[in-house]
Amino acid sequence: MIIKLTGGVVYDPANNVNGKVLDIYINNNKIVSGKDVTQVDQEIDLRGKVVMAGAIDMHTHVGGGKNNIARILLPEDHRSDPVAATELTRSGTGRALPSSYVTGYRYAEMGYTSVFEPAVLPVNARQAHMEMGDIPILDKGGYVLMGSDDYFLQMMAAKKDQQAINDYVAWTLHAAKGIGVKVVNPGGINAFKFNQRQLDLDENNQFYNVTPRDILSVLATAVKELGISHPLHVHGCNLGVPGNKDTTLSTIEGVGGLPMHLTHIQFHSYGVEGDFKFSSGAAEIAEAINKNKNITVDVGQVMFGQTVTASGDSMKQHANHKHASPNKWVCMDIECDAGCGLVPFKYRDQNFVNALQWAIGLETFLLVEDPWRIFLTTDHPNGAPFTSYPHLIRLLMDRSFRNDMLKTIHPEAQKMTTLGTIDREYSLQEIAIMTRAGAAKLVGLENRGHLGVGAWADITVYTADDNREKMFQTPDYVFKDGELVVRDGEIVHIKWGTTHIVTPEFDSGIEKDLAKYFNRHMTMKLGNFKISNDEITEDGRNTLTVQPTKRGVL
Amino acid sequence: MATKTEVPSPFCGIGTDDLVINVDGLSINVLANGCAINTPAFEQAIGDIAPRVKGKEVTLEAAVKKAAELLASSNQTLIGGCATDVNGMRALVSLADHNGAVVDNIAFNASRRNILALQDSGWMNTTLAEVKNRCDLLVVIGTDLEKVSPRFFEQFIWNESPMFLEDSTQRKVVYLGKEPSGQAGVSPVGAQVKVLPCADEDLPELVAVLRALIKGRDILHYEIDGIAITDLKALAEQLKQAAYGVVAWSASELDFSHAELTVQVICELVKDLNEQTRCSGLPLGGCEGDQTANQVSAWLTGYPARVSFAKGFPEYDPFLYEAQLLLENAEVDVLLWVHDFNTQALPPSDVIPLIVVGRSGMHFEKEPDVFIPVGTPGIDHRGHAFRMDGVVAIRLQKLRESGLPSTAEVLTLIDQAL
pLDDT for A272-282, tens place per residue? 999 999 999 99
Q: How far apart are CA A175 and CA A159, in angstroms?
A: 24
How far apart, in Å, are the Cα atoms of B227 and each of A8, A10, B176, B232? Answer: 80, 77, 10, 7
Is A335 in Cβ contact with B127 (below 8 Å)?
yes
Give the pLDDT score at A554. 38
CB B297 within 8 A of CB B305: yes
Phi, psi angles (nearest 5°) of residue B297: -60, -40
- Cβ within 8 Å, pair A91-B314: yes
DSSP A469-510: HHHHHS-SEEEETTEEEEETTEE------EEEE------TTH
- DSSP for residue B389: T
Q: To 5 degrees, how large is the angle CA A180–CA A185–CA A190?
A: 105
Distance CA B418, CA B77 (A): 13
CA distance A399 to B104: 52
Question: In whole angstroms, what separates CA A211 from the centre of its chain?
Answer: 25
Distances from the Cα of A196 to the Cα of A338, B52, B270, B353, angstroms = 14, 61, 17, 59
Residue B401, amino acid: E
Give the C-alpha separation, B250 to B114, whole Å.
9
Distance of alpha carbon B338 from its chain centroid, rounded? 15
Question: Which of A:128-187 have CB within 8 Å of B?
Answer: 130-131, 134, 150
Going by C-beta distance under 8 Å and a sequence separation of 6 or more, which residues neighbour residue A199? A185, A187, A188, A191, A205, A212, A237, A315
- Whether the CB-CB separation of B162 and A369 falls below 8 Å is answered with no
Is the CB of A194 inside 8 Å of chain B's CB atoms? yes
By three-state DSSP, how is residue A304 classified?
Answer: coil
Cβ proximity of B33 and B19 under 8 Å: yes
Task: Name the nearest CA neighbour of A450 among A6, A84, A53.
Answer: A53
Instruction: Tell whether A524 is within 8 A of chain B (Cβ).
Output: yes
Does B297 contact A at CB distance below 8 Å? no
- State whether B277 and A134 contact (CB < 8 Å): no
For residues A383 and A305, is the Cβ–Cβ distance under 8 A? no
Most B CBs within 10 Å, among A524, A529, A537, to test the B interface: A524
Give contacts of A327 with chain B, Cβ < 8 Å. Answer: 121
Q: How is A349-397 classified by DSSP, letter by letter?
A: TTSHHHHHHHHHHHHHHHH---GGGEE---TTTTSS-GGGHHHHHHHHH
DSSP H or E segment with residue A101: helix A100-109
d(C-alpha A13, C-alpha A433), whole Å: 6
Task: Return the closest-CA partner of residue A371 out of A296, A423, A443, A311.
Answer: A296
Residue A550 banded pLDDT, cuts 50, 70, 90: confident
Rounded-to-integer distance, Cα B299 and Cα A131, Å: 7
For A32-78, the pLDDT digits (tens) are 999 999 999 999 999 999 999 999 999 999 999 999 999 999 999 99
Radius of gyration of chain A, Cα coordinates, nearest whole angstrom: 22
Would you call B294 and A332 a contact, using CB atoms and an 8 Å cutoff? no
Cβ proximity of A401 and A384 under 8 Å: no
pLDDT tens-digit profile of A246-271? 999 999 998 889 999 999 999 999 99
pLDDT band per the 50, 70, 90 thresholds, residue A551: low
* Helix boundaries (H) for A255-377: 282-291, 314-320, 352-367
Half-sphere exposure of A522 (CA within 13 A, CB side): 22
Q: Which of residues 174-193 of B touch A (CB under 8 A)?
A: none
Q: Which of A194, A191, A155 minimizes the C-alpha distance to A171?
A: A155
- State the pairing for strand pair B306-308/B102-104: antiparallel
pLDDT in tens, A373-387: 999 999 999 999 999
Between CA B37 and CA B13 the distance in angstroms is 10
What pairing do the DSSP bridges indicate for beta strands A82-83 and A92-93?
A: antiparallel
Give the mean model confidence (pLDDT) for residues A86-106: 97
* Residue ranges of domains in chain B, CATH in brackets: 48-108+288-417 (3.40.50.740), 125-273 (3.40.228.10)
Dist. CA A383–CA A57, nearest whole Å: 14
B398: contact with A, CB 8 A cutoff: no
All structural domains of chain A with their residue ranges: 53-445+454-498
Encode pLDDT of A527-539 as tens digits. 999 999 999 999 8
Q: Which class is A53-445+454-498 in CATH? A: alpha beta
**Residue A415: CA atoms inside 13 Å, Cβ hemisphere, count?**
8
**What pLDDT is attached to residue B1?**
83
CB contact (8 A) between residue B295 and residue A127: yes
- The CA distance from A256 to the nearest CA of chain B, in Å, is 34
Q: Taken in order A515, A148, A314, A223, is the CA torsion positive or negative?
A: negative
How many of the other CB atoms lie within 10 Å of CB of B238? 16
Of B98, B126, B302, nearest to A333 by CB-CB distance is B126
The answer to whether the CB atoms of B302 and A78 lie below 8 A apart is yes
Q: Which long-range contacts (CB under 8 A, 24 or more apart) does B165-168 make?
A: B165/B133, B165/B134, B165/B136
> What DSSP letter does each residue of B80-110 carry, written as one string?
EEEE--HHHHHHHHHHHHHHT-EEE-TTHHH
Residues of chain A found within 8 Å of residue B129, distances taken between Cβ atoms: 123, 335-337, 521-523
Pick from B19, B123, B392 the residue to mutate for testing the A interface (most A CBs within 10 Å). B392
How close A170 gets to chain B, by Cα (Å)? 21
Distance from CA of A535 to the nearest CA of B (A): 8
Nearest to A57 by CA among A443, A330, A470, A398: A443
Chain B residues in contact with A194 by the CB 8 A cut-off are 164, 243, 278
Distance CA A16, CA A373 (A): 17
The minimum CA-CA distance between A125 and chain B, rounded to whole Å, is 9
What radius of gyration do chain B's Cα atoms show?
A: 23
Q: What does the angle CA B120 – CA B297 – CA B385 come to, to the nearest 5 degrees?
A: 110
Report whether A361 contacts A405 (CB < 8 A). Answer: no
Q: Would you call B75 exposed, middle or buried from its count of C-beta atoms within 10 A (0-12, 13-18, 19+)?
A: exposed
Q: At what angle do helices A399-406 and A389-397 cross, to 10 degrees?
A: 110
Q: Which residues of A touch B278 (CB under 8 A)?
A: 192-195
Helix (H, G, I), strand (E, B) or coil at B121: helix
Cβ of residue B255 closer than 8 Å to a chain A Cβ: no
DSSP state of B346: P
The confidence score (pLDDT) of residue A553 equals 40
> How many Cα atoms sit within 13 Å of A164 on the Cβ side?
15
How many Å lie between the alpha carbon of B116 and the closest alpha carbon of chain A?
Answer: 9
B103 part of contact set with chain A, CB < 8 Å: no
The residue-averaged pLDDT of A512-531 equals 98
Give the C-alpha separation, A414 to A349, whole Å: 11
Which residue among A68, A318, A528 sits closest to B17, beta carbon to beta carbon?
A: A528
* Residue A70 near residue A142 (C-beta atoms within 8 A): no
CA distance B10 to B377: 8
CB A223, CB A255: distance < 8 Å: no
What is the pTM assigned to this prediction?
Answer: 0.98
Cα gap B179→B146, rounded to integer Å: 10
CB pairs under 8 A between A and B: 199
β-strands B370-374, B227-228 pairing: unpaired
Extended beta strands in A121-262, E state? 139-146, 180-184, 232-235, 260-262
Burial, A496: exposed, middle or buried (Cβ in 10 Å; 0-12, 13-18, 19+)? Answer: buried
Who among A92, A318, A524 is closest to B301 (CB)?
A92
- The number of residues in chain B equals 418
The span from the CA of A74 to the CA of B303, in Å, is 9
A326-366 pLDDT per residue, tens: 999 999 999 999 999 999 999 999 999 999 999 999 999 99
Straight-line distance from the first to the last Cα atom of chain B, in angstroms, rounded to the nearest whole number: 41
B158 touches B270 (CB < 8 A): no
* Tens-digit pLDDT string for chain B (418 aa): 899 999 999 999 999 999 999 999 999 999 999 999 999 999 999 999 999 999 999 999 999 999 999 999 999 999 999 999 999 999 999 999 999 999 999 999 999 999 999 999 999 999 999 999 999 999 999 999 999 999 999 999 999 999 999 999 999 999 999 999 999 999 999 999 999 999 999 999 999 999 999 999 999 999 999 999 999 999 999 999 999 999 999 999 999 999 999 999 999 999 999 999 999 999 998 899 999 999 999 999 999 999 999 999 999 999 999 999 999 999 999 999 999 999 999 998 777 899 999 999 999 999 999 999 999 999 999 999 999 999 999 999 999 999 999 999 999 999 999 9
Q: What is the pLDDT of residues A448-493, one digit of tens each?
A: 999 999 999 999 999 999 999 999 999 999 999 999 999 999 999 9
pLDDT of residue A552: 47
**Does B302 contact A99 at a Cβ distance shorter than 8 Å?**
yes
- CB–CB contact A65 B15 (8 Å): no
H or E element in which residue A516 lies: helix A510-521
Q: Is B341 on the interface with A (CB under 8 A)?
A: no
